[in-house]
Structure 1
Amino acid sequence: MRVSRKVEHLQHALQIGQSGEHGLSDIRFVHQCLPEQSLSSVSLETYIGELNLSSPIVINAMTGGAAETEEINRELAIAARETGIAMAVGSQMSALRHPEVRSSYTIVREMNPTGIVFGNLGSEATVDQAQQAVEMLQANALQIHLNPMQELIMPEGDRDFRGVLDRIARIVHAVSVPVIVKEVGFGITGEAARRLREIGVSIVDVGGFGGTNFAAIENERREESLAWLNDWGIPTSCSLLDVQKSCAPAHIMASGGIRNALDICKALAIGAGAAGLAGIFLKTLKTQGTSAVIQQINTLHAHIKLIMTGVGAATIEELWRVPFIIGGETAHWCYARGIDITEFAQRK
């Protein structure tokens, strides 16, 4: 059942696409007519938690656990290797329960032996399972994904979410690599981020609304649709602004519908150390092939440097201090949540 579900998820993700309602269009950089910056001096090096990255772009968790997904992970791993970016795999629980699909994950390390790879498990995982997942990939970090609303809509999903924080805390203290906790498209609040950081979670990936819509995907799989939940969640812009109240940028990843260099730069400026992209790479891979994904990543790098030059930021850390204006629904969110939007507009 679980193996076939992974294939169904990929098929529905490609068919449904991304909503684009991530809220980042509400963010507008303050133009700098005197940026005092040179394109050639811009560096894309960054860090999240204890991880040093050559690029703020991460190929975020997508798949694994079925024979049909092994090729996807192989080709994405090649793209990550050729462009020097980090990559996460999808949940490894299926490999722990069904050893015959293990190769759909280990192929990532085989193709990218020296790259930065994130393992991935759900919040139901035990300490032993977490250690096995890290060992399976010789992973540099372990993602624990939170998806209660997806599980509730999923016909065969979990219905009991008690003890999640305690389980994550045990994993944090048992594994030898940084732990990243991420949502899958419904967003994380500042309060949740604070609680996660208090138990030792290294990185919080907001996984905001606006990208792959797992509520809509699960509703496609239901006999009786709960389509009125398809717009459930916190837009990526709002989640980032909420989480930055509790976490420094080096402990935040941005994901949720991010599709281009401007989205990436806005997410970083709000207060993220890296940005996870998934849907756009999957679509490019399936329609144009691996070389197109490599070119896509190289183009994103070039465009990020262009934007950073324009706003006068030579490094990602300097981008964290660039001024921007918050408008639209994101501004309403900030007002309701007690976030002072003038602080971002008046940065120096």
Structure 2
Amino acid sequence: MARGELIKKLLESYGDENAFRAAAEVIISEEESKRNQLLAKALRRTLNNGMSGSKSSPNRHQTVSRKQEAKGLMPLASAPGIANEFLEEVDTAYSHKEVVLSAENKKIFSDLIVEFRASDKIEKTGLPLRSKLLFCGPPGCGKTMSAGVFAREIGLPLYVVKIDRLMSSFLGETATNIRKIFEFATKQPCILFLDEFDALARARDDASEHSELRRVVNSLLLFIDRLKIRGYLIAATNYEKSLDQAIWRRFDEIIWFEKPNFQMIDRFLKTRFKNARPDFSVHDYVHELDGYSYAELERVCIGALRNSVIQSRDHVSKFDFEKAWQNEERRRKNIAKR
């Protein structure tokens, strides 16, 4: 449809929510087909905000709590259409400068971004793009944060799968639910993020698993094979040894996340305190924090910043940091006893 006709249809449908959204979606899809991802994303968010506003609901960005912001991922809106029940769009509060990755992982993500930006040239040759990524590693080591920052860098919305809703108590419905989210991802350019992937993709030779769950894995393998996503499927797991062996070859890239080494801990602390003017050298604590995950380091940093605010200081003191560190040590020891 010509652009002039689309605009006319959009204006004529004002007041009719369904018709207005349909016309707006066509315009957004056109921008997506032209690879104008940033504009398309902005238009879609404006559309969703407008639709929310028409129902007298608060602006979604205004309702994000400081607690949610501190976690880095902020809920935005549910996915439109049949996948609405199982997906939630989220945004990240972090930039690529705040993510500390190994040299190997930085190279992988850099190459993926370059590849995405050259996708038109690649597709013209008939070559496939890497679109299915598997993130493996212990909890708290940057898998979810990296997915959010990657989405932000390439300008695609990030939809997180609500795994608890996807896994229906009626096991026969779980495969149907998975099909719905994959169908959504073939129509909506996005990053589909499947956390706790091992809950769906458990090894079929595990004698403890129900036969119906094995059928879910069979369906999942078939869906991944057939998926022609307009963006990326990212699956993440803390328990890669639990995955079915047939899962591995379904992914174009497997990215391993490990707990940070000394150099990465040092970079992380300096990044988090870059505007806090600490009156001590954070480098002095690097070896003391060996074995900490990024999530644990983040809690120490936030705790230190919070302590400085409570004491009305314009900087983070050694006392602020050590108090937060001691709290995290107590937490770690108590968890280890369980």
With the length of structure 1 as denominator, give the TM-score of the two structures: 0.28
The structure number with the bigger radius of gyration is 2
With the length of structure 2 as denominator, give the TM-score of the two structures: 0.29
Q: Which has the higher helix share?
A: 2
Highest RCO, 1 vs 2 (Cα 8 Å, sep ≥ 6): 1
